[in-house]
Amino acid sequence: MNHQITARGVVKSYGNSPALRGVDFAAARGEVVAITGPSGSGKSTLLHCLAGIVRPDAGSVHLDGQRIDDTSEAHRSRLRRSRFGVLFQFGHLVPELTAAENVAMPLLLAGVRRREAVTAARNWLERFDVADLAGKRPGEVSGGQAQRVAAARALVTEPEVLFADEPTGALDTLASEQVMTQLTRVARSAATTVLLVTHDARTAAYADREVVVRDGTVQGPPPLAGTPGPGAPAALRSTP
């Protein structure tokens, strides 16, 4: 399989506390992968290493075969602006700006003209069914609506990889469902790879597959061996 983003033997500690103890990971272009595990398992640290936010102490991270973890902070920052999108648990929208201005911001920072940026922002809000909120500020919308605006902002630059860290962690069941349904639908239609950290199996079930991190290591079959097929048991005793 031709992997787009890979990690090999990634080790990361914070002080004397090891967060990752030699993790291998791989995702193909257009895949939606859930990275799950208990609190403190290292799943967010793995995501941050893959996104170039955190530099591993050892091991390597590659994007389309090019090593990215040993490049300068400025290079990784450019990479995050141009080829990556990032979505956090609390959206981190700018409270003084409207939804449309928030979504347009990454395009404006990339030098796109204001009128084009705002038009694109409105299109992306439309794709997340929140076009009617374009003129509202984050404080005037619900948590679920704000997170859909944040998802539109993360995708407005049409990134190759979207990194989402607990994107539904602060939402109730129905708001989570709306965010995940639209996020995965939009990402799949654009063939955007999504790496999704979550502690919630209901959110992980939107992904094509799951990678479980426990105590800083990946559980189960080695992810570099390829994507597991849909060969799971057809009948489970616990299902209706």
Partner 1 sequence: MSLGHVLLGLLVPGERHGYELKRHYDARFPAARPLASAQVYATLARLARDGFVQQQEPERVGGPDRTAYALTAEGRAELQRWLEEVEPPSPFVANPLAVKVTVAVLIAGGDAARDYLHRQRAAHLERMRVYTRTKTAPGAALTEVLAADYALEHLNADLHWIDTALARVAALTEEITP
State the minimum distance, in angstroms, from the CB of residue 147 to partner 1. Answer: 17
Cα 56 from Cα 103, distance rounded (Å): 31
The CB-side HSE value for 26 (13 A sphere, CA atoms) comes to 16
Nearest to 81 by CA among 27, 153, 179: 153
Q: Which of 104, 134, 196, 207 binds partner 1 (CB under 8 A)?
A: 207
Are the CB atoms for 29 and 53 separated by under 8 Å? no
240 part of the interface to partner 1, by CB under 8 A: yes
Q: Are 93 and 150 in contact (CB under 8 A)?
A: yes
* Identified binder of partner 1 from the candidate list 1, 191, 205, 225, rule CB under 8 A: 205
Select from 6-14, 16-24, 105-113, 210-218 the region that touches partner 1 (CB under 8 A). Answer: 210-218
Residue 10 found at the interface with partner 1 (CB under 8 A)? no
Q: Which residues, in sequence order, are CB contacts of 226 under 8 Å at separation 6+?
A: 1
Tokens of 70: 């040993």
Stretch of 1-9, 13-21, 188-196, 198-206 contacting partner 1, by CB under 8 A: 198-206
**Which residue bears the tokens 């489970």?**
236
Binding of partner 1 at residue 225 (CB under 8 A)? no
The reply to whether 210 sits near partner 1 by the rule CB under 8 A is yes
Print the binding letters for residues 38-67 with partner 1: x by CB under 8 A, - otherwise. x-----------------------------
Can you tell me which of 96, 114, 181, 222 binds partner 1, judged by CB under 8 A?
A: 181
User: Is residue 206 involved in binding partner 1 (CB under 8 A)?
Assistant: yes
CA of 237: how far to CAs of 202, 232, 233, 234, 240, in Å? 19, 13, 10, 10, 8
Residue 84 in the binding site for partner 1 (CB under 8 A) = no
Q: Any contact of residue 189 with partner 1 (CB under 8 A)? A: no
